[in-house]
A = this chain, B = another copy of it.
Amino acid sequence: MKISSAESVIMEALWRKQPLTSEAIIAEVGEPNGWTEGTVKQLLSRLVKKKAVGATPDGRRYQYAPLVARGDYVAAESQGLLDRLFDGRLAPLVTQFSDAGKLSDQDIAELKALVERISK
């Protein structure tokens, strides 16, 4: 099932630290996003129903933990963007950032080192 934009905020919290109680999650993402307790609970429920998050009973409450790895999610999202906008190829994406002047010197240095390492 697809993870929506608001839901992904919850996922990020869980990927950062896991497991968490709903209380902890609310503390983590409620304020920064202007969400009430009810909103976060609903998002959590939907994620559990989607099997993106697991809920382990712990006394009267649950401990929540991601069931999908961040890496898998990130890979799917990235591949999706690449396919949709760049014909599945990586170089044009990098070109796009370069052309847009969005690459810092550090970015370029990192890329350079990275390509060095990969290409051997």
Interface residues of A (CB under 8 A from B): 8, 71, 74-75, 77-79, 81-82, 84-86, 89-91, 93-98, 100, 102-103, 107-112, 114-115, 118-119
Contact = CB atoms under 8 A, between A and B. Distances in A.
Given A81-B77, A85-B77, A85-B78, A108 B98 contact: no
Copies of this chain, complex-wide, total 2
B110 A118 contact: no
A78 to B, nearest CB: 6
27 contacts: A71-B96, A74-B96, A77-B85, A78-B93, A78-B96, A78-B97, A79-B102, A81-B81, A82-B97, A89-B107, A89-B110, A90-B97, A90-B103, A90-B107, A90-B110, A90-B111, A91-B111, A91-B114, A94-B115, A95-B114, A103-B118, A108-B115, A108-B118, A109-B119, A111-B115, A111-B118, A112-B115
